[in-house]
Structure 1
Amino acid sequence: MKNHEMILNDYAKLCVKVGINIQKGQPLVINAPIEGIEFVRLLAKNAYELGASEVHVNWNDEVLTKLKYENAPMEVFENFPSWYADSLEDFAKKGAGFLSISAQDPELLKEIDPKKIAANNKSSSIGLKEFRKYTMNDINPWCVVSIPTKSWAKRVFPNVSEEEAVEKLWAAIFNATRMDLENPVEAWENHMDNLKEKVDFLNNKKLKSLHYKSSNGTDLMVELPENHIWAGGGATDSKDVYFAPNMPTEEVFTMPLKTGVNGVVYSTKPLNYGGKLIDDFKLTFKDGMVIDYDAKVGRDVLKDLFDIDEGAKHLGEVALVPFSSPISKSNIIFMNTLFDENASCHFAFGKAYPTNIVGGENMTDEELEKHGVNNSLTHVDFMIGSEDMSIIGETIDGEKLQVFENGNWAF
């Protein structure tokens, strides 16, 4: 029987071996909360054992982040530090892998001036635009994982002690990442194969549209661009190395046609955006653009998201996730997109992954635009799946295909 420390080390190994798939002589950059220092040390240890040339860590701290928002003037948030973007680009050019630990308190910035948050979101999106080409185009391997922090754990499990909340969140994370199974690496390989079967099926069908309907009022038609590509599970970087961008992952995804989204869609889970929650929101689309919206929680935050640029009002991702996924079955609202998006079908506002269209990774922004690919400084996932969701696809030959029925795969 493995103890917690042994499972933790195995989890760290899974992150760098399966997640990043670190290669001999390759640098690794880790973005992490300072509260996770012991786990980061395990990540570094395992990365070096697998041949990493260097492990560089960019630390973040919630207390310092909140102090900054409370005290720093607006111009600080309007100007993203070029040295930070330059350092990431430098590592990217050296072929580094990028591992991010997503573990933020979803209500950290609840009382903060939303104008400061909006300014920071916009300036960081602009500042990191060049760097993000390396990850959005899968030039470099990248992976997002998670660990509990005390503040996040208490948001998820508010009715137990801090210590018990952290233990419960660890258990939920281990379950979602298959770490509670006898052989997690083998389990991940089998899971990737299952997702690939769905990907291959959808790519062979050559769909031109998807029609979403739910009893909550969702009725949305999504057109797909010609030569779109479905993906899921893992990806391949520019050196033909296979990696897993998200752990956990349950999604199969592609891009929508920028101008081809029409109808109404309702959110089904809270969205943590920039330290503030958006919940219970409704979106109306016409010719691909959000023309009307409302939210019971965080409407002003949603508005700030849409104000980043024109592309933020369009969709950049269409992702299919069965309602019966392990994360959905846990009945836990994580208030963390890494987990909640893998419990529910979802879309993303903003930039599409160029790898979701044939030859897209080699196209200019102008060429992508001609192919109906959305471009934006942002990419924000939001959840729309439900237990009665129906998705009917139509192929380029006019064949109707039940893709989802009662929230789950129909094939």
Structure 2
Amino acid sequence: MKKLLDKYAKLAVKKGVNLQKNQVLLVNSPIECIDFARAIAKVAYEEGAKEVIVHYGDQTLQRLKLENASIDTLKEVPNWIAESYNSYAREGCCVISISASDPDAYKGIPMDKISAYQKSRQIALKEYYEYSMANKIRWTVVSVPTEAWALKIFKDSTPEEAVEKLWNVIFKVVRLDKEDPIKAWDEHNSKIAEKLEFLNNNKFKKLHYTKSNGTNLTIELPEDHVWLGGSEKCNSGIEFNANMPTEEVFTLPKKNGVNGIVTSSKPLSYGGNLINDFSLTFKDGKVVDFSAKEGYESLKNLLESDEGARYLGEVALVPFDSPISNSNLIFYNTLFDENAACHLAFGKAYPTCIVNGDNLNQDELSQKGANNSIIHVDFMVGTNDLNIVGYTYDNKEIEVFKNGNWAF
């Protein structure tokens, strides 16, 4: 296992954030993933890191706080906590986040408490999140198994069996089973780049989504939109991979240009609770009606995060015939589930999806059609019968997706 962790850590440091000498590396890690966090730190120092700072999260302690603290207390984010993120972002750190939380960690906790805590933290760390979303710093999200997460996926297994099964899946989808994982990622990024070239060359005005479970959604795209995916470049031109694994290409919708109905295709884990079997109705970009068979209150609180939370900030295309989707598993983890299905995102748009967007202020981005919010939450809509038609500015119709997969 140590060899696997070391190999994975090297991939995250060198191909994920592409750490440069004398850079600070910030690591966000669940306490259960301490061995992987240490492996990352070791590789980072070997690669010449100036310093490695690790922020550990403990969902057990956090649940105790949510159960016992007042809402007023939950709204308080001490300046030193905010600055422990914001200040390093200002200094140009790299960030590796280990995504491996228990999807049911906060089940039963009143949603007003969870919402108060999340909202205040998002506001306090706004600078850190903005640096990340504008690619002013390089960042990546990776995962390793924890017992609670693995048992959620493999319910009929023992803890040891569940963790081993999840390791086997992760091992394959992040290409650690290849002799040279970094070379394998270069090849994968090249294939994604071919899709980006097609989408960016066609400059679609809008996309029309249809599928048998009721989805009938039209999404307009800003005139200056850009499709991204695979590897990206930060402001200084250094390449990195923000998600490992990744199968998506993505852009932003025009804030006021989304109309129709869309239904979810996978559960959404949000705030330690699951939202499942939900439907959203959009008018002029805004969610005007919604329903959910499970997690209605969680969805309601998400949409009430701020004014921008009821608008979309991302449109992402992922073929149904892809490694994560073909595993036939629901991961209850956005990093994996979003790379198994086409998805959309509530909230803030990536500035980098607008031409020269990383050099525009928020007012300028808004004028271009980009949504702004304190949240950015992906939810899955892709199925094996999803069809997407693109419409160009000269009214040409082009099939983009047919029966869940690329049509070109």
- Shorter-chain TM range is over 0.9
Question: Which of 30, 38, 44 pairs up with 1:33?
Answer: 30
In 2: Cα distance, 1:327 partner to 1:164 partner: 20
Identical-residue share of aligned pairs (%):
54
- Give the secondary-structure state (helix, strand or coil) at the position aligned to 1:318: strand
Instruction: Give yes or no for the alignment of 1:392 onto 2:392.
Output: no
Matches within 5 A, 1:5-404: 5-404=2-401
Q: Note the C-alpha offset of 1:182.
A: 2.3
Superimposed CA distance per residue, residues 96-130 of structure 1 (whole angstroms, 9 cap, x where no aligned partner):
10110011100110111111001112111211112
In 2: Cα distance, 1:187 partner to 1:131 partner: 31
Q: Note the C-alpha offset of 1:76.
A: 1.8
In 2: Cα distance, 1:42 partner to 1:284 partner: 45
Q: Note the C-alpha offset of 1:281.
A: 0.1
In 1: Cα distance, 2:396 partner to 2:46 partner: 52
In 2: Cα distance, 1:126 partner to 1:42 partner: 31
Which stretch of the first structure deviates more once superposed, 33-42 or 296-305?
33-42
Which stretch of the first structure deviates more once superposed, 6-15 or 222-231?
6-15
Kindly provide the amino acid, as one letter, of the partner of residue 252 in structure 1: V
Q: Note the C-alpha offset of 1:48.
A: 1.0
In 2: Cα distance, 1:383 partner to 1:74 partner: 31
Superimposed CA distance per residue, residues 64-96 of structure 1 (whole angstroms, 9 cap, x where no aligned partner):
111111111211211222211112121112211
In 1: Cα distance, 2:2 partner to 2:118 partner: 36
In 1: Cα distance, 2:46 partner to 2:235 partner: 23
TM-score, reference length from structure 2:
0.99
In 1: Cα distance, 2:175 partner to 2:186 partner: 11
Superimposed CA distance per residue, residues 149-201 of structure 1 (whole angstroms, 9 cap, x where no aligned partner):
11111111110101111111111111111112222111111000111111111
In 2: Cα distance, 1:80 partner to 1:297 partner: 30
Q: Which runs of 4+ in 1 moved over 4 A?
A: none
- Give the secondary-structure state (helix, strand or coil) at the position aligned to 2:88: helix
Kindly provide the amino acid, as one letter, of the partner of residue 358 in structure 1: V
Over aligned residue pairs, what C-alpha RMSD do you find? 0.9
Q: Note the C-alpha offset of 1:291.
A: 0.5
In 2: Cα distance, 1:301 partner to 1:9 partner: 38
Q: Note the C-alpha offset of 1:51.
A: 1.2
Kindly provide the amino acid, as one letter, of the partner of residue 134 in structure 1: Y
Which stretch of the first structure deviates more once superposed, 314-323 or 180-189?
180-189
Q: Note the C-alpha offset of 1:5.
A: 2.7
Superimposed CA distance per residue, residues 227-249 of structure 1 (whole angstroms, 9 cap, x where no aligned partner):
10000011111221100000000
Aligned residues: 408
